[in-house]
Amino acid sequence: MTEETETRTEGMAGIRDVVSVRLPAASAYLSVLRTATAGLAARLDFTLDEIEDLRIAVDEACAMLLTQAVPGTDLTAEFELTGQEMQVSVEVSTVGSTAPKRDDFAWMVLTALADEVDAVTDSPDRMAIVLRKRRGAARPA
């Protein structure tokens, strides 16, 4: 048995490590968000494979949201970095949102790459997908 060590929840100098990115809700900007995702994941010492998983997962989540986003509005992404985990919350403005189809191929890929995925559709004018990925977590083959 090893002693439980307290999980680090604060970054350097006691600052909460949260990064927000706001982009036009348009597919042309997804590559920018993927680059940001990879850069932030590298800060947490994720492995190359884990960084790729996150890049694909964030992209799939955004691709789903963009099909429902109101043209001309923004997509916001909030990355929260703790010691072992990254939580990414992506959100768009919608007009009456419908939950992603759970049997969809893209949803299957998304859930296979992230440790946890939730779709937040409780508001009619916003839709969000929250995903979490832990460092060094075992992934189903």
Q: Is 23 in the site for other proteins (CB under 8 A)?
A: no
Instruction: Verify binding: residue 113, other proteins, rule CB under 8 A.
Output: yes
Q: Which span sits near other proteins by CB under 8 A: 8-16, 54-62, 77-85, 95-103?
A: 54-62
Hey, what are 80's tokens?
Answer: 């929260």
- Which residue, 19 or 106, is less far from other proteins as judged by CB? 106
What does the block give as tokens for 21?
Answer: 């990115």
- Give yes or no for a contact between 83 and 8, defined as CB atoms under 8 angstroms apart: yes
> Cα(121)–Cα(83) distance, rounded to whole angstroms?
29
Quick one: 37 or 93, whose CB is closer to other proteins?
37
CA distances from residue 132 to 32, 72, 125 in whole angstroms, order as listed: 20, 28, 24
Q: Which residues bind other proteins (CB under 8 A)?
A: 27-28, 30-31, 34, 48-49, 52-53, 55-56, 59-60, 63, 66, 105-106, 108-110, 112-113, 141
